[in-house]
Amino acid sequence: MLRSLAKTSARVPNLGSKVKFPARLKGTIVEKWADYWKNLFIDYKQMLIDLRNDIQDEPKKAFKWTVGLGMLYLLGKNNPDELDFKDNLKRIGNDIVMVSEPCQNPKSIEHLRFLETCYNAGVIHYSNLGIASIMYTSELNDSCDLYKSQCKYLQPSYFSFPSRIVDVGFMGRWWNIYIKTSNYDVN
């Protein structure tokens, strides 16, 4: 691929000198449009040539960048969403129902009841951060129209936000619900 790029870079200047506009199109928007695309192609061609030279000069650095960008892409691709959270919550709830009440872990049951209460009240929210996701609670429902929900002095501070985080989704899994309900049948 790098060799074909080098051959292409030699052909482009010759192609630009061979293409001539008729006299009636000179100075019109068509010529300006063609010049724009020609200059854009030349800029990208030069960028790819510089990239090729950088890769050849420092292959370890290029490998590190490639692995890092690949990992960011995979983390973003495997980032769980709110539907995954709800599905996980329902699946674990169905599994816990099959266990007799004396054998259930009280901490798991308490956490699931808290999440169900938050969903019923409409105070649980989802936020996508690109490579990770968070589920957090607010004090009031979005449809609530009380004075407390509109007054900026009564809004929660940014410092209280970490305490309102319910779960963190990363690498295709919601970790808090996984940790708190992994031993749901152990009392």
Helix runs in 58-139, H state only: 59-77, 82-97, 106-121
Is 87 within 8 Å of 134 (Cβ atoms)? Answer: no
CA torsion through residues 149, 150, 154, 155, sign: positive
Q: Indicate whether 187 pLDDT > 90.
A: no
Cut 0.75: pTM above it: no
Q: How confident is the model at residue 185 (pLDDT cuts 50, 70, 90)?
A: confident
Residue 156 has pLDDT above 60, yes or no: yes
Amino acid at 30: V
Would you report the helix, strand and coil content of the chain in percent, each value rounded to 5? 65, 10, 25
Contact 118, 124 (CB under 8 A): yes
pLDDT at residue 2, rounded to an integer: 55
What whole-number distance in Å separates Cα of residue 180 and Cα of residue 97? 16
Each domain of the chain, given as residue ranges in start order, spans 2-57, 82-181
DSSP 129: -
Q: Which of 8-22, 45-59, 157-171 has the lowest mean pLDDT?
A: 8-22
- Banded model confidence at residue 138, pLDDT cuts 50, 70, 90: confident
Q: Which three-class secondary structure state does DSSP give residue 174?
A: strand
Neighbours of 21 (CB within 10 A): 13
Which carries the bigger pLDDT value, residue 97 or residue 143? 97
- 7-49 pLDDT, tens digit each: 655 555 555 566 676 776 677 788 888 889 989 999 999 999 9
Per-residue burial over 130-164, b = 16 or more CB atoms within 10 Å of its CB, e = otherwise: ebbbbbbbbebeeeeeeeeeeeeeeeeeeeeeeeb
Instruction: Look at residue 148 in the predicted model and tell me its pLDDT.
Output: 72
Q: What is the pLDDT of residue 41?
A: 94
For 95-123, what is each residue's pLDDT tens digit?
Answer: 988 988 888 888 999 999 999 999 888 88
